[in-house]
Structure 1
Amino acid sequence: MLRDEGDRSRDVSPLGPDEGVRLYNPYADLHGALDRKDINLYKLPPAPEFLFSEEANIQRRSWNDYLVFYTGVAYVTGALAGGSQRFVEGLRLKEAGDMLKLRVNRLLNATGHRGRNAGNTLGILGLLYMGMEGAMFSYWGSDDVFNGILAGLGTGALYKAAAGPRTTAIAGAVGGLAAAGFAAGKQLSKRYIG
Structure 2
Amino acid sequence: MTAESAEHRVHWPVPPHDGYTVDDLFTLPDLPPHTEMIDGSLVFVSPQGHFHFAMIHLLANGLRSTLPPDFRVAAEMTVVLDRHNAPEPDVFVARADALTSHDQTRYAAADVLLVIEVVSPDSTARDRDAKPRKYAAAGIPNFWLVEMAGEDDHPVVQVYELGKVTGTYALTGIYHDHVKISVPYDIDIDLTTFDRY
Q: TM-score under structure 1 normalisation?
A: 0.26
What is the TM-score of this pair, normalised by structure 2? 0.26
Q: Select the structure that is richer in helix.
A: 1
Name the structure with the higher strand share. Answer: 2
Q: Which has the larger radius of gyration?
A: 1
